[in-house]
A and B are shown apart, each in its own frame.
Chain A
Amino acid sequence: MQWDWRVWRDRLVHVWRGSLRVRTIVLTVLLSALAVTVIGVVISSSVRANLFDSRRDQVIAESGRAAEQAQRIFTTAAELGDGTDVQATADSALATVQRSTTARYTALLRVPAQDVPRVIDDQASRDFQPGYASTELRATVIASDGTDVAWQSVAVDSEDGLDPGITTGSILDTISAGRYQLYLVYDLSDVQQTLDFVQSTLAFGGFALVALFGGVAYLVVRLVVGPVRVAADASEKLASGQLEERLPVRGEDELATLARSFNGMADSLQRQIRQLADLSRVQQRFVSDVSHELRTPLTTIRLAGDVLYDQREDFPPTTARTAELLHTQIERFEAMLADLLEMSRYDAGAVQLETDPTNLVRLVEESIIAVEPLAEERGSEVRLVAPGGYFEADVDARRIRRILQNLLGNAIDHGEAKPIVVYVDSDERAVAIAVRDYGVGMSPADVERVFDRFWRADPSRQRTTGGTGLGLAISLEDAAVHGGELAVWSQQGEGSCFRLTLPRRRGDELGGVSPLALPPDAEVAA
């Protein structure tokens, strides 16, 4: 249940935050309901007070008159003399009172504790309850003299529950039989009915008003938010690449201005994207043309150079050396052209992955075997430490091999004839390959530039691998196109470590974590 409640709360919060329409309408309805309630309460209480006051005044005046008449009857009877029956006089006075008022109940009660003998019985209507005249009222009435009328609000029993009522009290002097209290109980249910009617009218009017406000708010919001929502949808489509998306322009109002400027923006975007696409096509076309145009003469040069190189032993020494130089420089030129073309392909976004299930440890082993002659020549031993990574990962083996050749070549070049360790490890999300050398290392400034094109760590350093200056830049792209990353760590005098991290499955996110630390020395015992 707790859970359910939270789900609902979250859903409500989501709707509340997510829809301007809902928010506006709910706020409008709530605020107008509050205003209508306040107004209704004020009106109804003022009407009630007015109705009650006027009815009370009327009741008091009526009671006053009735009491005067009754008093007059008693006074007249006293003037006529002793012969009169006091009880009959009281009956007649009470009858007069009942006749001349609209009171529901009447009561004539003797003021207690008088020296005069009791001659008249207490008289009250059948349903008169003692509670209708409270102790306080009785005290006030007993203390009053003659013409004053005291009153109090009471609840009067009726067939359907309690009705509001007023009890008035005044004092009558029977002269011969002492003082009596006269109580008249009035029923205010007619006033209550009027009030109920007024209140229900007010409530109905209030509800209608709130509903009307809600309706108006809904209409206004529809008029304003509707187009905004259409604009939002259109922007989303535009952002997702549907460049043809436009807003309909109607009229001359602010929304039309919005639509016009949106369409203007879309036009401009579409134009620029088209230009970019054209540029990219031109670039790709250029790359393809350069590829063909340069490679054709290069092929001839290469063939010619190789033919000369193969026959160099028959040449005089200078010519033979020339043939050798020609051969090596053609190879270098070729490598550079290939790298340049590869880089251009990446720049043009024209790179396609050709993935196959590949065992990365085996791939690393092959790459190490390929560089072994060079490593031996430079006196470096290449070791493999592979606690993990023995599974088939979907990668483009050609590109991964290229990255490894690059990293290994660099490590051998800058490794100062010290051992080079290649680590392979994996976790459930990624597989990582790190190439660690213990050579010269790089300064922090160098580390920042290491992936820059045509950047070289130390221009004076002798190069054996004949790098083109594009190797790491291409490796970075090769890693990125797999959804992986290539990271570097280096410290002067302590060597460098390049770490390639690839997601196990294509399209997975790495999330910035790698199965190997950088450098991994401490973690994996070499």
Chain B
Amino acid sequence: MNARILVVDDDPAIAEMIGIILRGEEYDPLFAADGKAAIDTFRGERPDLVLLDLMLPGMSGLEVCRTMRGESGVPIIMLTAKGEPTDVVHGLESGADDYVVKPFNPKELVARIRARLRPSLPDTTERIQIGDLEIDVAGHEVRRGDERVNLTPLEFQLLLALAAKPQQVFTREMLLEQVWGYHYKADTRLVNVHVQRLRAKVEHDPDNPRIVTTVRGVGYRAGAVT
């Protein structure tokens, strides 16, 4: 069965055009023109990925994003028309996994969608222990003792990438390539924002992280700084 992608955009032409491209790549597009319809379709159809325009009539894109993220970990890619840097950060903080700036080209869009739908997970099936967390790679699950830690697929992927090589320090660029699938220089804020979100879920004290630690001037690594 083809992956189903919910396209949320108030401009019918752009939605239709994106639909044509998605069908060309063997995806099944679903459409919503405003925030309410988007939430309804999201709940009714359970899409595999959401393309979300941030500028929507009625309910704002950020709000739609927060609502969806509150209900599931489905990958959300923002379509942002504004070139203003702060909008990207707001979008990411609302729960979006990645973003594409309009105007974009079809290859770029498809590459972003692919990276989210088919995450490249490290080649391992064992269980990984990091701090007091246990990562079940096959089961896509993270546990602290008996308690399940609820991560989105992206957060899981980010944590796994770090935890699979606990001795290695990952630069933001390396993480962008491995987790987001960027093969060229991209926005390192993606990493910063998602590390913050991940810490908020897995750390006992997010201000004093022990699982995902910062290596100043380089990047991040799993485990305590030794």
Contacts and interface: CB of A to CB of B under 8 A. Distances in A.
Interface of A: 288, 291-292, 295-304, 306-307, 310, 334, 338, 341-342, 352, 354, 357
B63 interface: no
Q: Nearest 6 CB-CB pairs, A to B?
A: A299-B103, A302-B103, A299-B102, A303-B17, A300-B13, A300-B14
Interface string B86-122: 1000000000000000111111010000000000000
B17 A291 contact: no
A307 B55 CA distance: 25
Contacts of A357: 217
A201 to B, nearest CB: 83
A341 B83 contact: yes
A443 B82 CA distance: 40
Interface centre among A288, A303, A304 (most CB of B within 10 A): A303
B18 interface: yes
A364 to B, nearest CB: 15
Interface in B1-47: 11, 13-14, 17-18, 20-21, 24
Contact of A298 (B55, B82, B103, B106): B103
Contacts of B13: 297, 300
Contact of B83 (A291, A296, A298): A291
Interface centre among B18, B21, B105, B109 (most CB of A within 10 A): B105
Contacts of B104: 299, 302-303
Given A300-B14, A302-B105, 18 more contacts: A288-B84, A291-B81, A292-B55, A292-B82, A295-B103, A296-B11, A296-B81, A296-B102, A297-B11, A298-B102, A299-B14, A301-B103, A303-B18, A303-B21, A303-B105, A303-B106, A307-B20, A310-B106
A277 B24 CA distance: 49
A338 B17 contact: no
A297 B21 CA distance: 16
A302 B14 CA distance: 10
11 contacts: A292-B55, A295-B81, A295-B102, A296-B14, A302-B104, A303-B14, A303-B105, A303-B106, A304-B17, A306-B105, A307-B17
B70 interface: no
A291 B14 contact: no
A292 B14 CA distance: 13
B58 interface: no
Nearest to A401: B185
B85 interface: yes
Interface of B: 11, 13-14, 17-18, 20-21, 24, 55, 81-86, 102-107, 109, 217
B217 A300 contact: no
A306 B14 contact: no
A304 B11 CA distance: 15
A292 B106 contact: no
A301 to B, nearest CB: 8
B82 A291 contact: yes
Given A295-B103, A306-B106, A300 B81 contact: no
A397 to B, nearest CB: 9
B86 to A, nearest CB: 8
A307 B217 CA distance: 42
Contacts of B21: 303, 307
A304 B18 CA distance: 9
Nearest to B54: A292
Contacts of B105: 302-303, 306
Contacts of B84: 288
A310 B55 CA distance: 29
Nearest to A353: B85
B103 A334 contact: yes
A296 B105 CA distance: 13
A312 B26 CA distance: 21
A307 B81 contact: no
Contact of B106 (A291, A301, A307, A354): A307
Contacts of B103: 295, 298-299, 301-303, 334
A307 B81 CA distance: 20
